[in-house]
Chains A and B, each alone.
Chain A
Amino acid sequence: MSVDKNLKILIVDDFATMRKVIRNLLKQGGYENIVEAEDGAAALKILKSQPVDFIISDWNMPNMSGLELLKAVRSDDELKALPFLMVTAEALKDNVVAAVKAGVSNYIVKPFTAEVLNEKIEKIVKSLAA
């Protein structure tokens, strides 16, 4: 089963440059249907106003962190089934445990290649379809 490249992906990161970097990596994997938000609060507004198929969120962000966004998504009846890939700068055990407890679909540690990012997306989407 191949993953639909028209998936609408929401990138959440407070650094505009990092959003561009992730967008560039996704483009290399054939994903071009992308929306962006600068923090968790802005992401929730987008999620409430338009359909999104997949969330890629940074962990460390001001206003609303990636973990807080994940918790908000998982506690919302309309959004709770959305695939959620967390991006972190470090794979600290405590952080991973907290994210798994909160219902993260998977996580990816920076730095990462386009191949690794796309593999993670495919793995999550395929596991949901199974």
Chain B
Amino acid sequence: MDVRFINPFLNGTVQVLKTMAFVEPKAGKPFLKKDSLARGDISGIIGLTGAARGSLALSFSEGCILKIVSNMLGEEIKTLNGDIKDAVGEITNMVSGAARKELETLGFNITAAIPTVVAGKDHSISHVLGGPSIIIPFETPQGPFVVDICISAVGGGK
């Protein structure tokens, strides 16, 4: 995967969570993931097409996403309910939008599909390109989450 794709998704994630949920996640060192196992309890996945093709997934631990959505809604949410699922889809959509805006400045015009959300312990993530994917791990005071991306420039990129 092209390393130029990492920073836009990292920056987009921080921007979205900081702005909408007042959470400042701390990014760790990215690493390669070769299996399809999700690294969280609930994941939002979105397909990307255009100048680059692939998919983006955000997988949150339960404690982390409960805090994020509680902050977004201004009310305390205690379980992984429908509000949380909706919010994970919306957060995935917004991170994709913020990252695509930055990628546009690098010459990559990318469009996104509608996000899907999967929940449950040990669920799997099927990337459009099959994998392997790059994981950007994040820490928050309420628990970890990861950005899981598998994307490749179409026609070798610029």
Kindly list chain B residues whose C-beta atoms are within 8 Å of the C-beta of A113.
Answer: 19
B94 at the interface (CB under 8 A from A): yes
Near A by CB (< 8 A), chain B positions 55-105 give: 69, 72-74, 82-83, 86-87, 89-90, 93-94, 96-98, 100-101
Contacts A17-B90, A20-B83, A111-B19 given; does A27 touch B74 at CB 8 Å:
yes
Contacts A89-B94, A110-B94, A112-B19 given; does A17 touch B100 at CB 8 Å:
no
Interface majority SS on B: helix, strand, loop or mixed?
A: helix
Query: For the complex, what is the distance from the CA of A18 to the CA of B15, rounded to whole Å?
Result: 17
Query: For the complex, what is the distance from the CA of A112 to the CA of B19, rounded to whole Å?
Result: 6
Contacts A15-B86, A90-B100 given; does A111 touch B73 at CB 8 Å:
no
B16 at the interface (CB under 8 A from A): yes
Kindly list chain A residues whose C-beta atoms are within 8 Å of the C-beta of B87.
Answer: 17, 21
Query: For the complex, what is the distance from the CA of A21 to the CA of B93, rounded to whole Å?
Result: 15
Fill in one digit per residue for A56-94: 1 if any B CB lies within 8 Å of its CB, else 0.
000010000000000000000000000000001111000
Give which listed residue, B20, B69, B83, contacts A111 with CB less than 8 A. Answer: B20
Kindly list chain B residues whose C-beta atoms are within 8 Å of the C-beta of A24.
Answer: 72-74
Kindly list chain A residues whose C-beta atoms are within 8 Å of the C-beta of B15.
Answer: 111
Please name the residue on chain A nearest to B16 by beta carbon: A111
Kindly list chain A residues whose C-beta atoms are within 8 Å of the C-beta of B82.
Answer: 16
| B86 and A18 form a contact (CB under 8 A) | yes
- Name A residues whose Cβ lies closer than 8 Å to a Cβ of B: 15-18, 20-21, 24, 27-28, 60, 88-91, 109-113
5 A-B pairs closest in CB distance: A17-B86, A89-B97, A24-B74, A111-B19, A90-B97
User: Can you name 14 extra interface pairs (CB under 8 A) apart from A15-B86, A24-B74?
Assistant: A16-B82, A17-B73, A17-B83, A17-B87, A21-B20, A21-B72, A21-B90, A24-B72, A24-B73, A88-B97, A89-B97, A89-B112, A110-B20, A111-B19
- Name B residues whose Cβ lies closer than 8 Å to a Cβ of A: 15-16, 19-20, 69, 72-74, 82-83, 86-87, 89-90, 93-94, 96-98, 100-101, 112, 114
- 16 CB contacts below 8 A, A to B, read A17-B72, A17-B86, A17-B90, A20-B73, A20-B83, A21-B73, A24-B72, A24-B74, A60-B114, A90-B100, A110-B16, A110-B97, A111-B15, A111-B19, A111-B94, A111-B98
